[in-house]
Amino acid sequence: MICRDGCAEPTNSSYSGEAGDQPQRPPKIPRIEEEDQVESMKPPKPGLQRYLVAFEYIGTRFFGSQQQPHQRTAVGVLQDAFEKFVGQPVSISGSSRTDAGVHALSNVCHVDVVRISKRKPGEVREGDIMVIDVRSVPSDFHARYKAQERTYYYRLLSGPESLSTFERDRAWHVLEELNLQAMQEACKVLVGHHDFSSFRAAGCQAKSPVRTLDELHVTESVSVPNFPSVTESKPSDIGAQGVPNNSEKEFNGFCQEFGIRSGHRCLVVKARSHSFLYHQVRLLVGALKCVGTGHLTVADVQRILDAKTVAAACPMAPACGLYLGRVKYDLD
């Protein structure tokens, strides 16, 4: 999910966004890829029950998901909550790592606990993170290695107005208009079985850059929390002759009521695969955004893919718009 400046005719203003949400260059620290990380597969001790736990969190409140010394992480907070729940130390193994600032609608881990309470593990919650589902699984079930596929979503909000307080750090704010059709055409180049060397961070330590991207597409979605968006017509806004009520005035091409901000156009990128390279999704979104703004063509995306080097890619999208949406298992 990383890149260097490589879009056609790049300028400093080509990759617009809110302060702090600008596309970023690759980190220089190495990172162990999910399927290449060496981890113990030992079954739990007798008397322990293994649970598969789905949990959600706002990524901007954590220094990533994986436990790190002296840092507040999603798994670290969840582990502390479980230890309070069972009254003894526990060990949690996650299915997917997310970086600082990346959100999770449903990340998954497994935990081994002794049942010493009538409460269910699903009752565990700790402020910024919440367990949303729990399933007891066999003692040899591993949250990461048993995962069949992972789905990520990326939100882009397009429009010149500043983001709402409720949307800040929840999406990538792109000032320019985005060409949805062009972005959809670029997805067709990237989906499938490819060498994604141009779309992985310099620090990625996966043994192979080859991945199968089962799904990649862009759709337009309703922008929340405008209920509904002020750009959508409402019966109460239209007079008897089909003319907007006089209580409104024209602002930036839309009917704008006093005290109601203009909505943004919301595009959502969906990416689904068995596994992803480090920063692959954010690099893919960075390229799609450049196509949307006209700084790249679909042919340029093909050339970036064929180059097989991150030096040919665009700056990656910021973390704030990325959501881990689902980790799929066969639990039947």
Which residues, other chains included, contact 244 with Cβ-Cβ below 8 Å and sequence gap of 6+?
Answer: 237, 238, 255
Contact between 70 and 315 under an 8 Å Cβ cutoff? The reply is: no
| pLDDT at residue 114, rounded to an integer | 77
Res. 258: pLDDT tops 90: no
Residue 193 CB burial class (10 angstroms; 0-12, 13-18, ≥19): exposed
- List pLDDT tens digits, range 175-196: 999 999 999 999 999 999 999 9
Tell me the pTM.
Answer: 0.78
H-type helices in 38-174, by residue range? 74-86
Res. 122: pLDDT tops 50: yes
Specify the pairing of strand 149-158 against strand 254-256. Answer: unpaired
Query: Residue 169: left (phi > 0), alpha (psi -120 to 50), or beta?
Result: left
Phi and psi angles of residue 12, each rounded to the nearest 5 degrees, phi first: -65, -25
Query: Residue 82: left (phi > 0), alpha (psi -120 to 50), or beta?
Result: alpha
Res. 1: pLDDT tops 80: no
| pLDDT at residue 46, rounded to an integer | 65
Q: What is the DSSP letter of 123?
A: G
Contact between 22 and 15 under an 8 Å Cβ cutoff? The reply is: yes
How confident is the model over 226-240, as a mean pLDDT?
48
Whether the link from the prior residue into 160 is cis, omega within 30° of 0, is no
* CA 168/CA 314 separation, integer angstroms: 23
How confident is the model over 230-237, as a mean pLDDT?
47
Token pair 């954590």 is found at 62
- List pLDDT tens digits, range 30-82: 443 344 343 445 655 667 889 999 999 999 889 888 888 888 999 888 988 88
* CA 280/CA 1 separation, integer angstroms: 3
Specify the pairing of strand 172-174 against strand 149-158. Answer: parallel
Phi and psi angles of residue 211, each rounded to the nearest 5 degrees, phi first: -140, 155
Could you list the active site residues? 99
* CA 219/CA 180 separation, integer angstroms: 8
- Summary mean pLDDT of the chain: 80
Which residues, other chains included, contact 74 with Cβ-Cβ below 8 Å and sequence gap of 6+?
Answer: 55, 57, 59, 62, 64, 65, 98, 104, 107, 129
